[in-house]
Amino acid sequence: MVRRCPDGMRYLLIRDGHRNWGFPKGHLHDGEGPEDAARREIAEETGLDDLALHDGLGRIDWYFRFRGDLIHKFCHFFLFSSDAGDATPQGEEGISACVWLPFDEAEVRLTHENARRVLQAARVLVAGGVLDPSGPV
């Protein structure tokens, strides 16, 4: 998530139920594609629903153990922008904060390195002019 502000671009981070800083993400519903799931999860976890999709940001994957089983998870990320509205954390899902930060602050705050790579990919797209230059400031 990115937003053009009068003093520069801001990237949206959330703090999840494990107190990690990252991006909205979740599970696919039956028949739902990754882009639609990303749009739905952002809306659910932040309350923002005026979302414009710009491009894909790649996929991250990770492994963890649950009840003795090795689990492999992956998540597709997309660059969305939102020009209006306040981001509100979805408390019932454990989201405790939503913050819009400049790139340098967001990069430092992110908990996981793979999320930093997603943020860096977003910055490249933004620098390349993927957002409508006539959009709101």
Residue 86: which H helix or E strand, with range? none
The CA distances from residue 112 to 1, 67, 87, in Å, are 17, 23, 22
In the chain, where are the structural domains located?
Answer: 2-127
List pLDDT tens digits, range 57-97.
Answer: 999 888 889 999 999 988 999 999 998 889 999 999 899 99
Of 45, 40, 17, 14, which Cα lies nearest the Cα of 29?
40
DSSP 74-105: EEEEEEEE--SS-----GGGT--EEEEE-HHH
Burial of 66 (0-12, 13-18, 19+ CB in 10 A): exposed
Q: Give the global pTM.
A: 0.89
Rounded to whole angstroms, the Cα distance separating 78 from 67 reads 31
List pLDDT tens digits, range 5-40.
Answer: 999 999 999 999 999 999 999 888 999 999 999 999
Look up the CATH number of domain 2-127. Answer: 3.90.79.10
- Do the Cβ atoms of 118 and 23 come closer than 8 Å? yes
Res. 135: pLDDT tops 70? no
The pLDDT value recorded for residue 38 is: 95
The pLDDT value recorded for residue 74 is: 86
